[in-house]
Amino acid sequence: MIVRFAELIRYRELVKNLVVRDLKARYKNSILGLLWSLLNPLFTMLVFTIVFTFMMPNNQISKFPVFLLCALLPWNFFQAALTGCTNSIVENATLVKKVYFPREVLPLSTVLSNFVNFLLALIVLFAMLWAFRIPLTRQVFWLPVIMATQLAFTLGLGLILATTNVFYRDTGLILGVALQAWFFLTPIIYPIDILPTQRSIFGLNLNVHRLTYILNPMASIISSYRVVLYHGAPPALNFMLRTLVTSVAVLMLGYAIFSHYSGTFGEEV
């Protein structure tokens, strides 16, 4: 794995070129171009705000647009990156068959191009923080750690999905359904505090609030964004460390699976 990582570093220019290619292809023939990275989250936020503020006036969440964006932007990055990674090998079949390069370059460039869009979308979030007079505290310096944690988790999962899709092409269809369910199981449009600490399910008393954090790494990651930006507080160190360890473990597992099967990609695609 160390040897493959060193080889990947030698191909960093290829990664850079593929990221630029993905960004150009995404906004080709688009009048507004990169501005869509700002407008898409704004439109989505507007829809959810109308639904949960005006159509459901009992919503007690203060400054709901900011509350929503703190979670929606990381989720959009995660969803787009996973969808792109799943198809990254199959869609570049011609390149995989004819040219040698580390195959992990393809899902990696997909994740990084979506990460660039995420960074651009943060401009909208910071503007909303200013508009709603939510001050940025020194806890904002936790953002690079939280972003690195999400990158590790997203890339690890993306490598697994890219590998699976080479052999089972219905992976993308299953992913679409899974992501939709995952979205509602993650506290994005609602605060995690509303989840019960005790709920009887099939005769078992479960702490749904705690299990959401344990079983859903994205709930932990999104909660960290929200704590730092919306509440202006530091994330709990043990909580952050556990999430980081989980993300690194997923990355190592994904890289091991991808490396094991990547030699057969040319035959399968």
Q: What is the pLDDT of residue 229?
A: 94
What is residue 1's predicted lDDT score, i.e. its pLDDT?
A: 67
Domain count, the chain: 1
Rounded distance between C-alpha atoms, residue 32 and residue 26, angstroms? 12
Q: Are 42 and 122 in contact (CB under 8 A)?
A: no
Question: Which pLDDT belongs to residue 24?
Answer: 76
Indicate the angle between helix axes 64-88 and 105-131, nearest 10 degrees: 170
Burial class (CB in 10 A: 0-12, 13-18, 19+), 11: middle
Q: What is residue 34's predicted lDDT score, i.e. its pLDDT? A: 64
Give residue 217's pLDDT.
Answer: 92
Per-residue pLDDT, 112: 94
The list of the chain residues with pLDDT below 50 reads: none
pLDDT for position 36? 66
Q: What is the pLDDT of residue 31?
A: 55
Domain range for 221 is: 2-268
